[in-house]
Amino acid sequence: MTVIEHTELLVIGAGPYGLATAAHAQRQGMETLVLGEPMSFWRENMPEKMKLRSGPDWHMDVAQKHTMMAFLAERGMDPADVSPIPISLFLEYADWFRERAGVEVETDLVEDLTKPDGRFEATLRSGRRVTSDTVVAAPGISHFGVVPEWVERSLSPDKWTHTCDLVRFDELRGKRVLIVGGRQSAFEWSALLADGGAAEVHVVHRHDPPDFVPADWSFVDPLMDLTVEVPGWFRNLPPRRAKSRRGPLLGRRPAQARALAHPASHQPTRQPPPARFGRGVPGGGRRYTRPPLDRRRPRGGPHRARYRLQA
């Protein structure tokens, strides 16, 4: 007979959000079970030499104690010396945070989650079953990678990959590489491919070129304040409003391409046309405006090559 365990809170996922949630819940005295592979997305789906976009002021501790700054100070490191932060250092911080916050992770995955009679019931890959009063699902974005249908239809499996899976670049040394897409990952991967010795890297996309300005996160704070004040406010927006809110959240992060850190190998062979700007941003900055929807829809014609990066 299967033994069913019970926990007050089940946290699904051991990435930054899962770990932060678990630490906070435990501090509030909640009995917490955390499932997942600690920081697996960062360890397995990001390039090992990647540098972070977020700075040392980003951390996982709601209580502001086990911060990245505290971690660096304990090691006698000056934040200015580790900027931008190498992913390996952030992973060390995550391990340090987990240990300091006393968050234990069980490396098992949830395969099914139901709520048959008022409480949650999770079936794990190992066959274990867990019930819980509350669930926080933080399984991350790796489940949502999109591969256009035409890629699989027109290319053999050894000819293409997704940025989620391409994290080591040596195997493409000397090769000509086409990157389809033109946001953060596209430019970051193009820089890493050039560093890894690719013969040529071409980047194609249908939208206007990104404007390569430092990321502007000023839109986040008011939304966070609103979330604290009115939990779940975004669930009740009428459809049109919901769409306009998704814009800033999902689409307007100006791409701060890592390519800029490698100017020698990343000169666009065509100068991008002037960026289009929209409404002013409080504080004097300006925010990139996405092209109207009809300009973003697939046109069925060939993609326009905007850049050619040669190693």
Ligand X SMILES: Cc1cc2nc3c(=O)[nH]c(=O)nc-3n(C[C@H](O)[C@H](O)[C@H](O)COP(=O)(O)OP(=O)(O)OC[C@H]3O[C@@H](n4cnc5c(N)ncnc54)[C@H](O)[C@@H]3O)c2cc1C
In sequence order, the β-bridge partners of residue 4 are 129
**In 10 A of CB 78, how many CB atoms?**
10
Q: Are 140 and 39 in contact (CB under 8 A)?
A: no
Instruction: Name the token pair of 255.
Output: 């791409």
Burial label for 53, CB within 10 Å (0-12, 13-18, 19+), is middle
In the DSSP assignment, the letter for residue 275 is: P
Least spacing, CB of residue 264 vs ligand X, in Å = 22
Closer residue to ligand X (CB): 40 or 289:
40
- The footprint of ligand X (CB under 6 A) covers 12-18, 35-37, 40-42, 46, 52-54, 58, 109-110, 138-142, 185, 188
Closer residue to ligand X (CB): 16 or 210:
16
In 3D, which of 304, 291, 205, 307 has the Cα closest to residue 252?
A: 291
CA–CA separation, 296 vs 310, rounded Å?
A: 27
Least spacing, CB of residue 262 vs ligand X, in Å = 16
Least spacing, CB of residue 216 vs ligand X, in Å = 15
Residues with Cβ within 8 Å of 187's Cβ and at least 6 positions away in sequence, in order, are 203, 210, 255, 257, 258, 259
Least spacing, CB of residue 141 vs ligand X, in Å = 6
Least spacing, CB of residue 135 vs ligand X, in Å = 11
Closer residue to ligand X (CB): 223 or 271:
223
Q: What is the CA radius of gyration of the chain?
A: 22
Closer residue to ligand X (CB): 40 or 131:
40
In the DSSP assignment, the letter for residue 58 is: -
CA–CA separation, 25 vs 269, rounded Å?
A: 51
Closer residue to ligand X (CB): 13 or 196:
13
Q: Is 137 helix (H, G, I), strand (E, B) or coil?
A: strand
Closer residue to ligand X (CB): 98 or 202:
98
CA–CA separation, 174 vs 303, rounded Å?
A: 24
CA–CA separation, 109 vs 39, rounded Å?
A: 13
Least spacing, CB of residue 144 vs ligand X, in Å = 10
Least spacing, CB of residue 297 vs ligand X, in Å = 24
Least spacing, CB of residue 224 vs ligand X, in Å = 15
Instruction: Name the token pair of 241.
Output: 């409003």
Closer residue to ligand X (CB): 88 or 142:
142
CA–CA separation, 94 vs 97, rounded Å?
A: 5
Closer residue to ligand X (CB): 42 or 169:
42
In sequence order, the β-bridge partners of residue 33 are 10
